[in-house]
Every structure is written in structure tokens, then in C-alpha cells.
Chain A
Amino acid sequence: MSEQETVTIEVDGRAVEAVKGEMVIAATDRAGIHIPRFCYHKHLPIAANCRMCLVDVEKAPKPMPACATAVADGMKITTDSQRAIAAQRGVMEFLLINHPLDCPICDQGGECELQDLALGFGRGVSRFTEGKRSVEDEDLGPLVATEMTRCIHCTRCVRFLDTVAGKKELGGMFRGERTEIKTYVGEGIRSELSGNVIDLCPVGALTNKPFRFRARSWEMLSFPAVSPHDGVGSNMELHTLRDRIMRVVPRENEAINQTWLADRDRYGIEGLYSEDRLERPMIKEGGQWREVPWEIALRRAAESLRGVASHFGPEALGALLAPTATLEELYLAGQLVRGLGSGNVDHRLREGDTSDQAEAPPFPYMGQRIEELADKDAVLLVGAYTRHEQPMINHRLRQATNSGAAVMTLNPRRFEWNFEPVLEHAVAPGRMVAELAAVACALAKGGKGKGADLPDGVEALAAKSETAQRIAERLKVAERPAVLAGNMAAGHPEAATLRALGTLVAELAGGPFGVLAEAANTAGGWLAGAVPHRLAGGAEAPLSGLSAREMVERGLRGYLLLNVEPEADLWNPAAARQALSNADSVVAITVYAGDALKESADVLLPMGGFGETAGTFVNSEGRWQSFRGVTSPLGEARPGWKILRALGTVLELEGFELDNAEEVYRIVAAACEGVAPGSRYPFHKGAASAGSASGGTELAGAVPIYSGDPLVRRSQPLQHAAIAGQAEAVAAAETAGRIGATDGGMVRLEAEGGAVELPLRIDEAIPADTIWVPAALRERVDLGPPFGRLTVTAV
């Protein structure tokens, strides 16, 4: 508020500072004076249609809506004068005319703004004897339940979907008493942020569908938590009842998720108590699974890890760690494997190319704060579909476009954005490097001169591309540009080159380069030493090991898996399945015992799931956020760090005498002292690998929004959502025509991993000679990596 002009107004005899031009209600909210309201929300445009906020303004002939009356110096406002109260009571009476009076069966009961205000402003007895209006419900999909008879037409949901989520998916139909809030086409809501309308709806018209009738707001306990599903680290509250997590609601943090929450963060929890949840330690004997006490399972796990290390040498042992694990778990797992003499530790499960790791910054950093993204005026997204990868990052980008920013993309396909990108450059994945190099060249030639000269070898990589030229021109004129590499860039087989070129483009454009983290602890894993070449805090590891991709492709004799599902979480699922079934021993510390895991593992140790473990996530900005376990782990499961501690103790390794998770935190935090975030990936000549030559049909794919981690994959409501990933092959009409395949027909795809048959869908968003197959789905495991070469035939 420092630079803005302030005025002083008087509210109920109290002097209140207000920013010039803001609405009365904003000033009183800040001052802690409550004015009743239904339609006003600080992050939504003002509609002033509910009239609940009427207040008395001195010299005004009638009460004024506080949410739509701008402050003026010396304004005198009374919120509790007779006239104001009478006006509010009148509004309330009108609202209740058509409102059903059955709070006891309403899911909003107990947390309903209408209920609360009716207590303060409602009449004891209704004077209305005529019939009440009732409205037919509409199916908005598996996430939001509707009871539209309860709607009071505040239009918060309409305004949210329009201005924040970016698509007008709901609107007011008909007029006057017959007004109804409906979808325009009757197809439900497709937004990835749809759950927020639940929080916004002041009444029980829109409620949480999976949570429906499960519990009451007053009986649940609320605990702060951090979302495990992406690198944003959205803040949320977990509501628990009798030691079970019931639902998730957002926790306000202006710097991260404001007051919003992506559906993935809200409904991911529905997968927590899935049927294949592992509750007791199990070992495989003669091909049969048997439940055993912890001591036996731990001893067996220790024996098999030791066995591999002594038989085949420690380098035959590797650890694949989930990037959704906590900082503490990642650190201990790294220590464990290193204690056994192996350097094979990695949490970059879905990364295709880590050849730049030696020179990489301490952790993948987005180059700026999340908030700052909203102020950018030009952003180039490389291999990123932020809308599904990091919805809250996308939200900021959308804010930027609202104030005129140009968002450009260089992706292996076009996507459905919720803003207008000024340019979507969709090229076959094998050409992405060439195109990005072309952008760099074009920028260097233009001579903005802010960055370094073009290093040797960039020009040789560059393609002749007019679109790249246009991207460069737009970046050139930008004052606050940024280049961001997303999940698809990380999964690209030439990710390192893309990062180096991205750095270059950003430098030449005079803005930051950033890497958007895929998982909650992608950044934390680097800091905790869950990478093969570095220890906690970034110190060089004495024995450098293999990356996740190498561990899987070369095939080791023994694996330690930390909450990893080999068929969905790894870059090359076909190779992963092969490697694990060939291995002599696989010890899995896991939340779920999926079928694939049961097939390949020998020991299953049940670990506490989300919300059941204390820990820390480090987000893309390098923000450390700790949280505690809010319920006890299911059955005999234990927090991951405790399992690792016990395993370390059984293995008689050093450094595992720990009392609590905070102790681990302190060790990592001490190691990370003085670690400065950075996002510079230097370019080297000859960086591009052999794969860059294009030609033939290319495979491309990204992890669908609700397939990223074991928890979200088990969330049934999300899996049934309209935007959940489907196993299909998508291609442009021309490509399909060349194969001789038709829309809806089956095609056979053969890649290095194997072959699969999938239905084909024709979509012009896919560039020529490219087949898009969503990654991380069970049906496509045989195809191997998300990108590569393949042959297609119509079946």
C-alpha cells in the first residue's frame, strides 16, 4: 500500500485507512469490520447483485452497496444503523422467499453463508405462504454436486469460471425469478480449477461431490498441508474425522495459490484409501505373497539388498525414488543406498536426458517467484502445457495475458489453453531443438545485446523457421520476458539441449529462464541428494552412479523403490518392467500394492500415504514448506522416513540414529545453507544427440493431468473427469490419411519397447508426422518412452 494514495474514511465512528479507488468493503475487511455479503469476493470482479452488503453512507439518499461503492476521503459509513440493518433484513427476507428451508439435509449446513447470515438478519417466521420455486439440477461431472434450488444467484461461480478459470462454462439463464445458473451446452465443467466454485458458492448449490454427505464441517479437524501433486506446492487444509482424511480445501497464500486450488490438489485425496492400499508388510515366498510382521519384512529387505551388494557388487543396486516423497525420505533413501556402496540414486523418474547434470544448478528453479509470472509481458513455454502440468502456474500466466502479455509455446502439439496464446508453435518433438535454436539465433541477430554472444554450435542446430523468427521478435520487444521449460521438455530425449537453449534464449531476451518442476519434490530431491552425482546440498558425490533412465535401461540386479509404480512413473515403462522382472531382488517401500508392483517386487513395506507423514516439500521457487502427519498411517503402515531409518539400522549403516523427522530436516537444511537458486544451463557445442535428425513418424506424449502420481491415479472422481487422460493415438488428418487409418479406427503402433494397438482420433492440434499418445497410462506401457520413433499401421 506504500506507493498508492490513501484516504481515510470513517466506519462506525472508527477511522479506517483505504486505498484510493478501492471499494468500501475491501477497506473494512482489512480493518476487520464485518459487512455481510454474498456476491463479493476479493479475487473476482464486482457484480453487486446480492445487495446484502448495504450500508448507510452519510448524505446518501439510500443505503449503498459496500462492495460497489468506492471510498472517498472523509466518507462516513455506518454498518449497523437502523436503516442499514433494515435494508439487510429486507434483502434476507427476499432471499429466503425461494430458498428451501432444509439445512439439515443440505451439505453446506454448518458452513453456509446464507445460514449464518439468516441467523443474524432473518425473520424468525416466514411471511411467505406461496409456492417456492424449484430448479432442475444439472450434471456438472464427477467433481461438483449441484442442488440448484438452493442457488441465490450471486454469480460467483459464473464470474470465477469466466475470469479466473478462463472459460465461460456457467451462466445465468432466463430472467427475474426464473433465473437459473446452467452450463451453456450441458456438458459439465471441463476446467481444471472447477472445484473452486464449491468454496465460492455461499450456499449449498454447488458442493463437493465425492465428499457429499460424508461429514459435517463442525466435526472435522483442520490441519495445514501442502499439495503433493505438482511443483507449485499449493497450500491447503486437510479436514479429518476419526483419523481419516475427509476432504481438502484451499489455504490462502497470496504468493502461491491465492485462494484457489486445482482439482488435482482437491480431489487427489480420494485415492488415499483405495482398495490396493498396502496395510501390512508382505514378502514373496515361492511366488506367493504372505503378510509378515515388520521385523521379518525388514530383515528380509535388508538381506536382499545386502545380498545383491555382496554378490554382484554394490553398483548392481539402485534406488528409484518418487519425486513426491518428502525431503526427509529422499535424503534417507540416498544415504541408505550410498551406505551400501552404490551411487545409483535418482528421483528424476520421468526425465529423458540428464546429460547436463554435472553443470546443472543446485535444483530445478523456475527463475522467479510464482507471483512474478503475472507481471510478465512475454513468456515462451518450451515443452510445457502448464494448464495441466502446474495449474496454478498457468493461472498466473493467464493473469499475465489478461494484462496483455504474449504467451508463446513451442510444444509437440497445440493444446486447449484457457487464454489466447499469441502463438502456438507445434512441431514434431525431434524438431523442437532446431526450432528453439532458431529462436536463439534470431534473437542474437536482432542484437538486443543484453545477453551473451551466441555460443558455437547453436547456429548449426538451428532450423530455418519463420515462426521461430516471430517468437524472437515478440521476445525482443518485451520488457519483462521469461522462458519456461515444462514437463514435456524434461521428458524430451534432448532435454539438456532444450534447457541450454532455453537459458540462451532467455539471456538474449533479457529475462529469466525457469524450469517448472513436475512433482512436489522434484526440487527437494536435488537438495536432498536424491540424484546420482550429488549429495545433500549439492556437494559432489564421491561415487557417481546411474540416472533413473540408465538404471532402468541397463538393468540392475537389485532395486529399492520408494513409492514408485514402475509402469507409470518411469520414463521408459517398458524397460522398467523388463528390468524389474529380471532383477534378483526388488524391495518396494510403497503406499499401494498395485498389480504391476506385486509382480516384480519381493518385499513390500507399507508406507504412510499423503497426510500421514511429516515432511517437507521444496517447490519450483525453492520454497521449503514443512507439514505434519495429520492422521495415523493406515493399518501397520509407517511413515517412510521411519521405514528407511529402521532399514538403515538393520543394515547397520551409519547416520540412522535419528529421533524424529525434524532431525533429518535439520541435516538437509544445514547442508543446503548458502545454496543459491539458479537456472543457468550452459550450452556446449555438439550438445544435441543423434536423435535430433527428423524423418519418419514420431511419437510424442505427455503425462495426462490425472496420471502423474500413484495417489492421483487412484482418485476415481478425477479419473472420471472429462479431462482425464485416455489411452488413444491422436494424429492430424494428413498423417492418418497416409497410414490409411480413420477416425475411431484402431492403429498398431510399434516403437522400440514393443507394440500396442490403440484407437485413433484425428485432431489437427498434432503436427505432421507425429502421433500423440498420452504417457503414463497402462495401455501404452509397451511403447516405452513418451518420445521416440515409431511405425504405425492401420488395423
Chain B
Amino acid sequence: MRPLREYVRSFLLVELLQGLRVTGRHLFKRSVTLEFPEEVAPKSPRFRGLHALRRYPNGEERCIACKLCEAVCPALAITIDSHQRADGTRRTTRYEIDLFKCIYCGFCEESCPVDSIVETRIDWHLMESREQRVIGKERLLEIGDQYEAQIAADRAADAPYR
């Protein structure tokens, strides 16, 4: 019985009309496509984009080279070398993130005891050569310095939910 019914239906173009109905509906709806880069989508304060290293208000870098972010990173994207700075504190001599390895999971930020490494809202970063995929401590601190206001506001917005 079933094959017969299918046969008849195919002649009546039922599927086609169903499809056209969806098309028709969308034809008259308001468009949601954004004209990137002129227009950008709104982002959640929890957005996990490019990394940054933050400083304290007094200008001291937050990172204490505990290496927890390096240990937790599932993609092994972070490489840290540490030493004792002249003032006796524990500091990094090298802090590198390989952006090709990184899967933007945000574990590094979760693990950081001093809110040093964060993932910012920046999702639009370009590189012109392969080598640029590894970003070092200076660059990360620079990003942190540049976007500190935003970073701080985002952490504050998310704080009630943690």
C-alpha cells in the first residue's frame, strides 16, 4: 500500500510546496545578516577570544608563574619558563601561547589564581605568517593594557554567576 501512496504524492509535488512555504515565510521576515565588518554581533561578557595578560592597577604584572594554566591547557598551547626575579618574586621569563593549538576552551582563565590570563572579546585577529601564531608575554601584556577596562567590566558582569 505504502509504495503506491508515495508514488502518487511525488506527482502532487507536496515536498516542493512545503519547501517553498518556508522560503516564502523568510522572504518577508526581517533580515538578521550582519554586514561584517561594518556591523558586528553583540558578545557575551563570557566570550572567549584572544588572550591577554593583565596587570594590577599599580602596573605590576599579575602572573606569578604558577604554571597552572600551562598544566590545565588541553591543547598544550601554553609554554612558560619561570625564574626568581631580582626582588625575589616568582615570575615568568617566557609566556607563549600558540594560537593554532589553542581551542579557546577558557580553561587557562578558569585555572588562574590571580586572574592574570584572560580570554578577551577580541575574535578578529589576523596573522600574516605562520610564526606569528605564537604570541609572547610582551604582546599579551600589551593586549591586556589596551583592553583592561573592557576586561575588568566583563569579569565584573560575570562575577555574580560564579
Q: Which residues of chain A are within 8 angstroms of B70 by Cβ–Cβ distance?
A: 219
A residues 79-115 with Cβ under 8 Å of B?
A: 103-105, 107, 109
Name the contact of A219 in the complex, choosing from B64, B67, B113 (C-beta under 8 A): B67
Whether B90 contacts A105 by the Cβ 8 Å rule is: yes
Q: Which residue of A lies closest to B82 (CB)?
A: A213
Is the Cβ of A216 less than 8 Å from the Cβ of B71? yes
B83 to chain A, nearest CB (A): 6
Shortest distance between the CB of A212 and any CB in chain B (Å): 5
Does B50 belong to the interface (CB within 8 Å)?
Answer: no
Residue in A closest to B91 when the chains form the complex, CB atoms: A213
CA of A62 to CA of B113, assembled, Å = 40
Within 8 A of A (CB), among B13-46: none
The smallest beta-carbon distance between A773 and chain B, in angstroms, is: 37
Distance in angstroms between the alpha carbons of A107 and B66 in the assembled complex: 9
B68 contacts partner chain A, Cβ-Cβ < 8 Å: yes
Contacts of A219 in B (CB 8 A): 67, 70-71
B65 touches A (CB below 8 Å): yes
Chain A hits for B65, CB < 8 A:
213
A215 located at the interface, meaning its Cβ lies under 8 Å from any Cβ of chain B in the complex: yes
A218 and B90 contact, CB distance less than 8 A: no
B156 interface residue (CB < 8 Å to A): no
Of chain A, the residue at the smallest CB distance from B64 is A105
* Complex contact A104–B71 (CB within 8 A): no
Majority secondary structure of chain A interface residues (helix, strand, loop or mixed): loop
- Quick one: CB contact mask for B96-138 with A, threshold 8 Å, 1 for yes? 0000000000000000011000000000000000000000000
Taking CB atoms, residues of chain B closer than 8 Å to A215 are 82
Instruction: State which size class the interface on A falls in.
Output: 10 to 19
- Shortest CB-to-CB span from A100 to chain B, Å, is 13
Q: How far is the CA of A215 from the CA of B64 in the complex (A)?
A: 13
- Asked if B83 contacts A104 (CB within 8 A), the reply is no
Interface presence of A214 (CB below 8 A)? yes
CB neighbours of A213 from chain B (8 A): 65, 82-84, 90-91
Contact A216 B83 (CB under 8 A): no
**Minimum distance in angstroms from B89 CB to a CB of chain A:** 8
Residues of chain B lying within 8 A (CB to CB) of residue A104: 64, 66, 68, 113-114
Residues A109 and B66 in contact, CB atoms below 8 Å apart: yes
Query: How far is it, in angstroms, between the C-alpha of A569 and the C-alpha of B104 when the chains are bound?
Result: 56
A218 to B111, CA, bound (A): 16
CB distance from A241 to the nearest CB of B (A): 9
Question: Using an 8 Å CB-CB cutoff, how does the interface string of A406-424 with B read, 1 for contact, 0 for none?
Answer: 0000000000000000000
Closest beta carbon of chain B to A143's beta carbon, Å: 15
CA of A332 to CA of B32 in the docked complex: distance in angstroms?
78
Q: How far is the CB of A766 from chain B (nearest CB, A)?
A: 41
Residues 49-90 of B, flagged 1 when their CB comes within 8 A of A and 0 if not, give: 000000000000000111110110000000000111000011
A residues within 8 A CB of B90? 105, 107, 213
| A355 CB, nearest partner CB in chain B, Å | 53
A103 / chain B contacts, CB cutoff of 8 Å: 66
Give the distance in Å from the alpha carbon of A212 to the alpha carbon of B90 in the complex: 9
A668 to B113, CA, bound (A): 55
CB distance from B49 to the nearest CB of A (A): 25
B151 to chain A, nearest CB (A): 20
| Candidate in A216, A218, A219 with the most chain B CB atoms within 10 angstroms | A216
Q: B67 to chain A: which residues have CB within 8 Å?
A: 216, 219
Which residues of chain A in 196-233 are interfacial with respect to chain B, using CB atoms and an 8 Å cutoff? 212-216, 218-219
Q: How far is the CA of A595 from the CA of B136 in the complex (A)?
A: 38
Q: How far is the CB of A703 from chain B (nearest CB, A)?
A: 32
CA distance A254 to B91 in the complex (A): 39
Query: Nearest Cβ in chain A — how far from B82, in angstroms?
Result: 5
| List of A residues within 8 angstroms of B83 by Cβ | 213-214
**Minimum distance in angstroms from A301 CB to a CB of chain B:** 37
Which residue of A has the minimal Cβ distance to B112?
A104
What is the distance, in angstroms, from A134's C-beta to the closest C-beta of chain B? 15
Question: Which of the listed residues A103, A104, A213, A215 has the most CB atoms from chain B within 10 Å of its own CB?
Answer: A213
CA distance A212 to B85 in the complex (A): 11
- Measured between beta carbons, the chain B residues less than 8 angstroms from A107 are 90
A673 CB, min distance to chain B CBs, angstroms = 48
A698 to B70, CA, bound (A): 61
Q: In the complex, what residue of chain B is closest to A109 when comparing beta carbons?
A: B66
> In the complex where A213-B83, A213-B84 touch, is A218 in contact with B114 (Cβ < 8 A)?
no
Residues of chain B within 8 A of A109, CB atoms compared: 66
Q: Nearest-CB distance from A210 to chain B (Å)?
A: 10
> When the two chains form their complex, are residues A214 and B113 in contact, meaning their CB atoms are under 8 A apart?
no
Q: Name A100-138 residues within 8 Å CB distance of B.
A: 103-105, 107, 109
Nearest CB in chain A: distance from B81 CB, A? 8
- Mask: chain A, 381-418; 1 = CB below 8 Å from B; 0 = not: 00000000000000000000000000000000000000
Question: Taking CB as reference atom, which chain A residue is nearest B113?
Answer: A104
CB distance from A239 to the nearest CB of B (A): 14
Best-surrounded residue of B64, B70, B84 (most CB of chain A within 10 A): B84
Q: CB distance A212 to B84 under 8 Å?
A: yes
* Closest residue of B by beta carbon distance from A104: B66
The distance in angstroms between the C-alpha atoms of A105 and B66, with both chains bound, is 6
Q: Which of A103, A104, A212, A218 has the most CB of B within 10 A?
A: A104
Query: Among the interface residues B67, B89, B114, which one has the most CB atoms of the partner chain A within 10 A?
Result: B67
Could you tell me the distance in whole angstroms from the C-beta of B96 to the nearest C-beta in chain A? 12
Using Cβ atoms and an 8 Å threshold, which residues of chain A touch B64? 104-105
Q: Which residues of B contact A212 (CB under 8 A)?
A: 84
Residue of A nearest to B67 (CB): A216
A218 touches B71 (CB 8 A): yes
Top 4 nearest A-B pairs (CB, nearest first) are A104-B66, A104-B113, A213-B90, A213-B84
Hey, which bits of chain A sit against chain B, CB under 8 A? 103-105, 107, 109, 212-216, 218-219
Given A104-B114, A216-B71, A218-B71, 12 additional A-B pairs, CB 8 A: A103-B66, A104-B64, A104-B68, A104-B113, A105-B64, A105-B66, A107-B90, A109-B66, A213-B82, A213-B83, A215-B82, A216-B67
Identify the B interface with A (CB < 8 A): 64-68, 70-71, 82-84, 89-91, 113-114
